[in-house]
Chains A and B, each alone.
Chain A
Amino acid sequence: MAERGRILRGDDIRADVEERPDVCVIGSGPGGAVTAARLVERGAKVVVLEEGGAFTRRDFDMREETAYPRLYQERGARATADLAFTVLQGRALGGGTVVNWTTSLRVGEPVLAHWARRHGVEGLDGRALTPHFEAVERRLSVAPDVLQEINANNRALWDGCGKLGWSRSLVPRNVSGCLRLGYCGMGCPVDAKATMDRTYLADAVAGGATVYANVRAERIGTDGRRAVEVSGEVRDPATDLPTGRRVVVRPRAVVLSAGAINGPALLLRSGLDHGGRVGRRTFLHPVVASVALFPRPIEGWQGAPQSVASAHFEERGQGRMGFFVETVPIHPMLAGTSLGGFGETHGEVLSRLANAQAIIALCVDGFHEGDEGGTVALREDGRARLDYPISPALWEALREGNKALARIQLAAGAERVLSLHDPPVELRSEADLARLDAAPWEPMRVSLFSAHPMGGCAMGGDPARSVVDSSLRARGLDNLWVVDGSVFPTSLGVNPQLTIAAVARWASDGIAARAG
């Protein structure tokens, strides 16, 4: 039995530190945490670097003013460079799982088949992945939600789809003893959510891993063939500013699990652009949302935020981008920063927020010929820059998605439906749907979102088109693996956290064999 490891925060690190482990894992989300736990299980000495803070349930006060600056990338202000998309992405020990709305779905087998056929991915099919899904679902207490317990916001999606005859399902959630407070996105205050810091990362620490929170990996140094050094900047947990201390890790292998935006940015800062492919084919599951006012209270701030989904529009025929439908929690800041218009227009919804209901359509990007998604590049000062040009095919999906959302809400009994355009488009019946056709479908004329950045370090069989091979090893570097959502060569068509964890578990055997 290995000696127990520990978690060190920025304020524990009083002097520069040098570590010489077997493996340095960068990032503690589902990719990094699962990989770290599996490597530790096989006897590897592992050091994990996480730029976010280490929090416990007592830190989660369920206030937007605390949670977003503290637990999200760029203090909750991450976005595409033109601000067309707001990007909600977690930043904490445990990565996005700390703020994830708990939806835990498996990627569909047709997606894996597409990756094999079009991207030359080998060995990653439903049969290979199933045991890993089963294992992570057990460890993360994943079980479908219960219809009798869903909140009114999700009930409207369920009822609306039912009335329209559209497919609907109850979402599996990674919780145990959930009190349905409605604050998953601000950190679970009762430890009901099976986040990475409470599961796989805790397993890794119990087996001897050393975890550094508040340490931002700045650069990966190589000798041309191998990654030899990861240098990290220590940050003060209170201010998030650099303390001047450094953590330098000289490992035998590196696992990069920093997510689809910060990961490619770290590779680019390190001069590892793999022929310009790093940061290309970045996918977002572009989201359009619709807000409706109901004659009855919805109180979308309470209850499990995501219980119901509809995959009715997953396949929309040749050349058309599919979308899936889910719900979002309704809290004052999230609503206030998303609505179109201002002043009195804002007041019409915000003064009746208890009666507001909201659903989203998430577009499944990356599957069609010529759909290259967006890019992650570097700004002059080293920060990541995300751009996502919107193709005509995506505009069509966003528009049709918005119409489907409005129809669901009207079918469920909404009095008024409002789009997030500037100015908002208002619908009171199906007869008004044409107003959405006539709306300004242009960047920055309608609020768009992403909570699922993927791609940027695409896996694949062709060295000229991929950043990592089918074992997730970086091309051209013997001992660097990328294990997170960035390796997906397209988007997933489902919320990615569970699939990232399962793929990490699947890849970990190969990593252990070669890195050990």
Chain B
Amino acid sequence: MFGRPRRHRERLLLPGETIGRRRFLVGGLMGLALVAGAGWLALRRREDLEGVGGPFAVLAPDEAAVLLAIARRVVPPDFPPPERVRVAERVDAFLAMSHPGVQLDVKRLLALFDSAPIGLLLDGSPARFRSASPRRQDARLTAWATSRIAVRRTGFRALRRLVCSAYYSSPATWGAVGYPGPPALHG
């Protein structure tokens, strides 16, 4: 879905691209945040990850938790909840069939999107996405969707597409959208 260019270094780099100052800075910030927040996270982790489902072939449980948190805001309020549609498991199944480069890109993007320091730096919101309030979560999604920084809009579209393709391709959502499903063929 997105990847590492060889011939386009002058272009804006995308989430998951390996080379470039932006990447280095972002990586550095994320590294710092991980060290600083490790103790706190160790305490939080257990309750954070309850109900993420699985087992997963590609996603780590905390990555699945971020994905589910995004899905809860992307899916309309009256629709079946994403965990019941097994959105994280369905995204995981898609990733398991995908190129390793795609898997890595998605994992990096989820970490970046969830990151508290990145949220603070870019949107003035110091919480991890998955533990922020619904109002703050919507604000961060909108900030990425409409950002002046092209790579954030790319990131938003990747996340929304992953969630929506996993969710709306499931027969469990057909009732909510009023789709009767494919016709039955006889003979």
Chain A residues at the B interface, C-beta cutoff of 8 Å: 61-65, 68-69, 74-77, 79, 81-84, 86, 181, 183, 189-190, 239-240, 301-302, 331-333, 335-337, 341-344, 346-347, 350-354, 377-381, 383, 385, 387, 422-423, 440, 443-445
Find out whether the CB atom of B75 lies under 8 angstroms from the CB atom of A343.
yes
Chain B residue at minimal CB-CB distance from A444: B153
Find out whether the CB atom of A82 lies under 8 angstroms from the CB atom of B150.
yes
Interface of A is mostly: loop
- Extra 7 A-B pairs, beta carbons < 8 Å, given A63-B182, A76-B165: A63-B169, A74-B1, A77-B161, A82-B14, A335-B177, A336-B165, A379-B101
Cβ 8 A contact of A346, one of B3, B6, B76, B157: B76
For the complex, what is the distance from the CA of A344 to the CA of B14, rounded to whole Å? 28
Chain A residue at minimal CB-CB distance from B159: A342
Between-chain CB contacts (< 8 Å), 18 pairs: A77-B1, A82-B154, A83-B161, A190-B185, A332-B168, A336-B168, A337-B164, A341-B145, A343-B75, A343-B138, A350-B79, A350-B177, A351-B76, A351-B176, A379-B4, A385-B3, A387-B8, A423-B145
For the complex, what is the distance from the CA of A305 to the CA of B145, rounded to whole Å? 31
For the complex, what is the distance from the CA of A378 to the CA of B165, rounded to whole Å? 26
For the complex, what is the distance from the CA of A248 to the CA of B132, rounded to whole Å? 55
Q: Which of A61, A347, A443 has the most CB of B within 10 A?
A: A347
Nearest chain A CB to B5's CB is how many angstroms away?
6
Residues of B near A342 (CB, < 8 A) are: 73-74, 141, 145, 160
Q: Which of A82, A440, A443 has the most CB of B within 10 A?
A: A82
Q: A336-B165, A379-B6 are in contact. Are A69 and B94 (CB under 8 A)?
A: yes
Tally the A-B contacts, defined by beta carbons under 8 Å: 162
Residues of A near B160 (CB, < 8 A) are: 337, 342
Find out whether the CB atom of B165 lies under 8 angstroms from the CB atom of A337.
yes
Nearest chain A CB to B139's CB is how many angstroms away?
12
Chain B residues at the A interface, C-beta cutoff of 8 Å: 1-8, 11-12, 14, 73-79, 90, 94, 97-102, 138, 141, 145-146, 150, 153-154, 156-158, 160-161, 164-165, 167-171, 173-174, 176-179, 182-183, 185
For the complex, what is the distance from the CA of A332 to the CA of B75, rounded to whole Å? 13
Nearest chain B CB to A350's CB is how many angstroms away?
5
Q: Which of B7, B14, B156, B182 has the most CB of A within 10 A?
A: B182
Residues of A near B102 (CB, < 8 A) are: 77
Residues of A near B99 (CB, < 8 A) are: 74, 381, 383
Nearest chain B CB to A435's CB is how many angstroms away?
16
Find out whether the CB atom of B150 lies under 8 angstroms from the CB atom of A444.
yes
Q: Which of A64, A76, A81, A423 has the most CB of B within 10 A?
A: A81
Find out whether the CB atom of A378 lies under 8 angstroms from the CB atom of B6.
yes
Residues of B near A385 (CB, < 8 A) are: 3, 5, 8
Residues of A near B150 (CB, < 8 A) are: 82, 443-444
Chain B residue at minimal CB-CB distance from A81: B2
Cβ 8 A contact of A381, one of B14, B101, B185: B101
Residues of A near B14 (CB, < 8 A) are: 81-82
Find out whether the CB atom of B177 lies under 8 angstroms from the CB atom of A351.
yes
For the complex, what is the distance from the CA of A300 to the CA of B99, rounded to whole Å? 33
Residues of A near B174 (CB, < 8 A) are: 332
For the complex, what is the distance from the CA of A108 to the CA of B76, rounded to whole Å? 45
